[in-house]
Amino acid sequence: MVWPAECCVQIVKGKKVIVRVDFNVPLDDNGNITDDTRIRGALPTLKKVLADGGSLIIMSHMGKPKGKVNPKFSLGQIVDAVSEKLGVKVQFAPDCAKAQDAAAALKPGEVLLLENLRFYPEEEGKPVGIDKEDPKYDEAKKEMKARQKDFAKTLASYADIYINDAFGTAHRKHASTAVIADNFDADHKMLGYLMEKEVQAVDNVLSNIKHPFTAIMGGSKVSTKIGIIENLLGKVDNLILCGGMTYTFAKAQGGHIGKSICEDDKLDVALDVIKKAKENGVNLVLGTDCIAGDDFKNDCNTQICPANAIPEGWEGLDAGPETRKAFAKVIEDAKTILWNGPAGVFEMDNFAGGSKAIAEAIAKATANGAFSLIGGGDSVACINKFGMADKVSYISTGGGALLEAIEGKVLPGIAAIKGE
């Protein structure tokens, strides 16, 4: 069920509510949060539970610790930040699977944050230490799935009500995002406010597309985006492919890319995308020039060169000036815009110009009435880095989840609540 705001007080008052959020926030080397978008996104749901007299238990993952305890990914690092945002002192349970006593002792208005769920392999439900090709893998997987159910049952035992507000992991059938829902009846499990907003934003793009529809897909790998790229070829008028993917496409067409990132086993896939774009009448826009560097660092030597004629020993690290102009022209004419993935290594200031040009063009189009949806951690970080979050229509907290939703896939985290 969707959280019915008008009767929420009766639902949570005096009850313990466990909320799955996505607090997988980026941290610097000192454990300080560099982008708190995901925490801010979850606040309406968390504050509603507290305002209506509930006890709040928050659970999340952080990073990819692969089923092992790793201090680098401890949620203990963000306790103070969450306390500050909520305006309530947050207690911390250092072991998410052994928090029964801490949860039981919670009083209305109090908050408990569980340690990183992925410190337990049962959260993701994947066998650890055994290769998929191993004859015993299927048996190990079956055993892990049974353990995953038990892990989910333990988490569920802490609370009376379960709310999923983690759109960023809604595409995963994990213990805390989907399996846990089996332990609650329909009246005691629901989607949070952020999840509802995310689903609505996707609906806005898919059910009310205004043309021209332009999608911008960035990032380093074609392989991680091929599903959404192929799906978008049947929907968009313009498809901009940028970032590290540029060089796989350049090499596939016979170009020289120096030591730029490239998926040599995806050259045929790149050519197939070019072919399908033509067949679908889609304007495929690829980078023609780039800012190349002689090392992967901010203060390396740079030069502007064609994206398909990069000298040996150099690598493309950002979109070049002609590419930026071409991207901007297409984006500024759009009425619906989807952006996922940067145009370069935006974390380094000297290679952030391409991504900034995209952000500025999207802001201009939005000001002229376009609907712009920004999704994926890197794109969100880009928009925030350039101080342009208020210049776009909607910023999604989901990367993979957003793309799978747009592909039309059923998201396990949502299906588990709606009983689909």
Catalytic residue among 141, 221, 325, 364: 221
For helices 193-207 and 37-51, angle between their N-to-C axes, nearest 10 degrees:
130
Beta bridge partners of 303: 292
Beta bridge partners of 59: 20
The answer to whether 221 is a known catalytic residue is: yes
The answer to whether 54 is a known catalytic residue is: no
Catalytic residue among 168, 316, 344, 377: 377
Tokens of 414: 């949502």
Specify the 3-state DSSP secondary structure of 300. coil
Catalytic residue among 16, 38, 48, 324: 38
Question: How far is Cα 29 from Cα 346, in angstroms, rounded to an integer?
Answer: 18
Question: How far is Cα 312 from Cα 84, in angstroms, rounded to an integer?
Answer: 50
Catalytic residue among 244, 353, 400, 413: 400
Strands (E), 177-254: 189-191, 213-217, 238-241
The answer to whether 38 is a known catalytic residue is: yes
What is the side-by-side strand order in the sheet with 336-340?
Answer: 283-286, 238-241, 213-217, 336-340, 371-374, 394-395
Q: Which amino acid does the sequence have at 167?
A: F
The answer to whether 316 is a known catalytic residue is: no
Give yes or no for a cis peptide into 212 (omega within 30° of 0).
yes
Active site residues: 38, 221, 377, 400
